[in-house]
């Protein structure tokens, strides 16, 4: 029978190995490095140039800038015709609208959690979103992690713990409350939703081969619609209505906006060419870079150096050890195909 033939075994092995993530390319590594740099420098730019501008006006202008920049890159790169071929509003809502709404709910949960738990506990629980990304990718796309990659994820969590515990030890103790129901659970659910949204974005970009620039434009539109709706019930919305959209702005306000918009485009490129799980390594590396930058520029305490080699080593292990024919899952897949 064909299912027992050599050709049949090859087909079953190929189907099994299709669940592994594609190998990362030089382009993917480049986007990871650029995202880490942008993420690390963004806090300095925000602190130095945002001033008293309303947060919602900054976010809306960032989304508009991301839409324009991605559209310009799409036209200049000659990708617009192919990217828009077969495009429909309903398809866009399914692929980009759902992740945008999930991110909106995630932000509400994060706001609730931050108000009901201390900063260290919040950050520690929030760092589980990379692990949730790996879990959600398995259920959404069937993407598995090899044994070394699972160890690398553990190294990422360890580096997060070391970094956050070190940062917390430098701060004065506070009487911050901790609520499991209103703090820990919403934070954990927000991390899970972040992983789910990341998996859905990766499915659109890799599984459905959606153009990353077009996807960034779609996310910008749906995110803006969601934010405008939330302004009807927020204090920020009242401020914008009373004082005007550009209240507290100055010409330098556009500097962090341009940086943040660039970061949004890079997130889409990283998700497409490197994957959502590896994005977590870039973000944590960016946090460490930002801590060093603030120590130099703002004369703040030098951060703990130990997490940096752990992050770099974990990222190298994760990139260099995908699920393969010689890996644990590869052996298992060949055994199942032979049986």
CA–CA gap between residue 115 and residue 90 (Å, rounded): 37
Q: What is the DSSP letter of 20?
A: B
Higher pLDDT, 256 or 176: 256
DSSP string, 41-93: HHHHHHHHH-TT--HHHHHHHHHHHHHHHHHHHHHHTT-HHHHHTT--HHHHI
> Is pLDDT above 50 for 96?
yes
Between the alpha carbon of residue 268 and those of residues 124, 132, 215, 228, the distances in Å are 25, 18, 7, 23
Compute the average pLDDT of residues 151-176. 69
pLDDT of residue 333: 42
CA angle 200, 202, 204 (to 5 degrees): 70
DSSP string, 87-142: --HHHHIIIIIHHHHHHHHHHHHHHHHHTTS-HHHHHHHHTTHHHHHHHHHHHHH-
pLDDT digits (tens, 9 = 90+) for 181-239: 887 888 889 889 999 999 999 999 988 889 999 999 999 999 999 888 888 887 888 88
Question: Residue 144: phi, psi to the nearest 5?
Answer: -100, 160
pLDDT of residue 3: 45
pLDDT of residue 330: 45
DSSP string, 161-195: HHHHHHHHHTSPP------IIIIIHHHHHHHHHHH
Between the alpha carbon of residue 249 and those of residues 37, 56, 58, the distances in Å are 25, 12, 9
């Amino acid at each position: 029978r064909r299912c027992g033939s050599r050709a049949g075994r090859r087909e079953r092995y190929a189907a099994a190995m299709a669940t592994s993530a594609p190998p990362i390319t030089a382009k993917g590594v480049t986007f990871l490095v650029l995202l880490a740099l942008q993420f690390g420098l963004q806090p300095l730019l925000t602190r130095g140039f945002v001033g008293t501008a309303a947060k919602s006006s900054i976010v809306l202008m960032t989304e508009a800038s991301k839409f324009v920049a991605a559209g310009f890159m799409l036209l200049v790169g000659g990708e617009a015709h192919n990217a828009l071929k077969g495009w429909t509003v309903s398809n866009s809502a399914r692929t980009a609208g759902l992740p945008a709404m999930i991110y909106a709910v995630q932000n509400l949960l994060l706001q609730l959690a931050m108000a009901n738990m201390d900063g260290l506990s919040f950050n520690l629980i929030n760092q589980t979103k990379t692990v949730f990304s790996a879990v959600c990718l398995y259920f959404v796309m069937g993407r598995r992690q090899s044994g070394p990659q699972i160890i690398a994820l553990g190294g990422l969590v360890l580096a997060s713990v070391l970094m956050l515990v070190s940062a917390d030890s430098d701060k004065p103790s506070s009487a911050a409350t901790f609520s499991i129901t209103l703090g820990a659970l919403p934070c954990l659910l927000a991390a899970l939703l972040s992983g789910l949204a990341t998996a859905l974005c990766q499915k659109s970009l890799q599984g459905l081969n959606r153009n990353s620039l077009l996807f960034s434009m779609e996310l910008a539109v749906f995110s803006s619609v969601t934010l405008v709706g939330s302004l009807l019930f927020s204090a920020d919305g009242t401020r914008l209505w009373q004082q005007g959209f550009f209240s507290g702005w100055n010409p330098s306000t556009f500097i962090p906006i341009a940086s943040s918009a660039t970061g949004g485009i890079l997130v889409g490129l990283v998700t497409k060419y490197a994957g959502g799980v590896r994005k977590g390594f870039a973000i944590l590396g960016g946090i460490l870079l930002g801590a060093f930058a603030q120590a130099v520029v703002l004369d703040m305490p030098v951060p703990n150096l130990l997490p940096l080699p752990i992050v770099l080593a974990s990222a190298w292990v994760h990139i260099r050890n995908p699920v393969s024919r010689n890996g644990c899952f590869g052996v298992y897949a060949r055994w199942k195909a032979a049986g």
